[in-house]
Amino acid sequence: MTTLHTADFGSPLGDLRAIWDDAGLCSLMFTEHWQLAERTLRRRFGGIAPVAAPSSDLPGRIAAYFAGDFASLDGIAIDPGGTPFQQSVWAALRRIRPGETTTYAQLARGIGAPTAVRAVGAANGANPIWLIIPCHRAIGSDGRLVGYAGGLERKRWLLAHEAAGQRPPLALGA
Distance from C-alpha of 73 to C-alpha of 44, rounded to nearest angstrom: 25
Beta bridge partners of 30: 16
Query: What is the helix (H) or strand (E) element at residue 170, kind and residue range?
Result: none
Catalytic residue list: 135
83 within 8 A of 116, measured Cβ to Cβ:
no
Distance from C-alpha of 110 to C-alpha of 73, rounded to nearest angstrom: 22
Strands 16-21 and 102-103: unpaired
Closest listed residue to residue 125, CA positions, set 133, 55, 96: 133
